[in-house]
Amino acid sequence: MFKPLDPLLHSELRLAVVSLLISTEEAEFPYIREQTGATAGNLSVQIDKLSAAGYIEVEKTFKGRKPCTLCRITPAGVKAFEEYVEALKSYLKVKTK
């Protein structure tokens, strides 16, 4: 009856990151931190988990002399997000008698 929920996306912060990237396609680390209200350390750990799963790609560059971390959603990330949303809908369609 219920579709399984992706445990990687079931984390509030990871879901927030992927949701942001779905709508923006790419974002810099400070923007993601600001939008999610996460600490830099926690966000960094969650971004690493999403990157290891292939849901996002991370590009580390420099803007002048300052480091710049840019995150982008991958096709696998888009697919996982869409499947997560569909699975969540299966929980919302439960009929009571």
Give the mean model confidence (pLDDT) for residues 35-53: 97
For 75-79, 82-86, 88-92, which range has the lowest pLDDT when averaged over its residues? 88-92
Which CATH code is given to the segment(s) 12-88?
Answer: 1.10.10.10
Q: Is 87 left (phi over 0), alpha (psi -120 to 50) or beta?
A: alpha
Whether 92 and 9 have beta carbons less than 8 Å apart is answered as no
> For 60-85, what is the mean pLDDT?
95
pLDDT band for position 15 (50/70/90)? very high
pLDDT at residue 96, as a whole number: 53
Output phi, psi for 70, to 5 deg: -115, 130
Looking at residue 3, what DSSP letter applies?
A: P
